[in-house]
Amino acid sequence: GSVVRLVEIETPSDGTPVADDTAPPRFVDGVGVPRVVYTAAGVASVAARIDEEGAVYVVMVNGGAAAPSSAQVKAGNNAAGAPALASGSATVFEEGAHMEFKLTGLAAGSSYDIYFVAEDGVPNLQAAPTLLAGVVGAADDSTPPALAFEYPKGMSGTDADLGVYVMLDEAGRFSAVAVANGAAAPTAAEVLAG
């Protein structure tokens, strides 16, 4: 089937036309400002939000390297016009949607600069990229995360749902399954498989 999207257009009550969109998207304050979510061995996860539908482009270059232009970031390139060490893009179909990018190839202890630029559908591209400076590649981590003191904690549940609060001592993923009272405990692989 086809998808129909209804768009409501507002006009001022005096009948004057609404000005065309000439402004690029802005990164939203708070969690939406380009930020590092976590770093792990060889990986940096970074995130952003913009204030309208559009696209976000990101590149990673060596720390202290010349800043690329907005067009170069959009193309996935560094300031010299060559491919950046890592790059990515995401299209946003909803104002304020969270976008996360996993950039790979970071060397432990090395510093990287990550540039973001946003563009709407008009297209209005931001004039200058936003910089996250000095992101350092994490060392190899051979220890799994541990639960913080007094966690996990159960939330109120229903007959069909049960919630659990968790807090880990480092960035990571927590998986859980519920089994009937008296049933054998699942293996780690079974918990991860759900």
Over the stretch 17-72, which tens digit does the pLDDT of each residue have? 445 888 999 998 765 579 888 888 888 989 898 998 999 999 999 999 999 999 99
Listed residue (99, 106, 83) closest to 25, CA to CA: 99
Confidence (pLDDT) at 165: 79
pTM attached to this predicted model: 0.66
Which residue would you say has higher pLDDT here, 12 or 193? 193
| Token output for 177 | 């399954």
Cβ atoms 88, 156 nearer than 8 A = no
Torsion sign over Cα 91, 95, 98, 101: positive
CA distance 190 to 47: 31
Confidence (pLDDT) at 18: 47
Helix or strand run (H / E) with residue 193: helix 188-193
| Token output for 125 | 């591209």
For 136-194, write each residue's pLDDT tens digit: 988 876 777 878 777 787 776 676 677 777 877 777 777 888 888 899 998 888 888 87
Confidence (pLDDT) at 21: 84
Helix or strand run (H / E) with residue 191: helix 188-193
Confidence (pLDDT) at 62: 96
**Does 2 score more than 80 pLDDT?**
no
| Token output for 30 | 């708070």
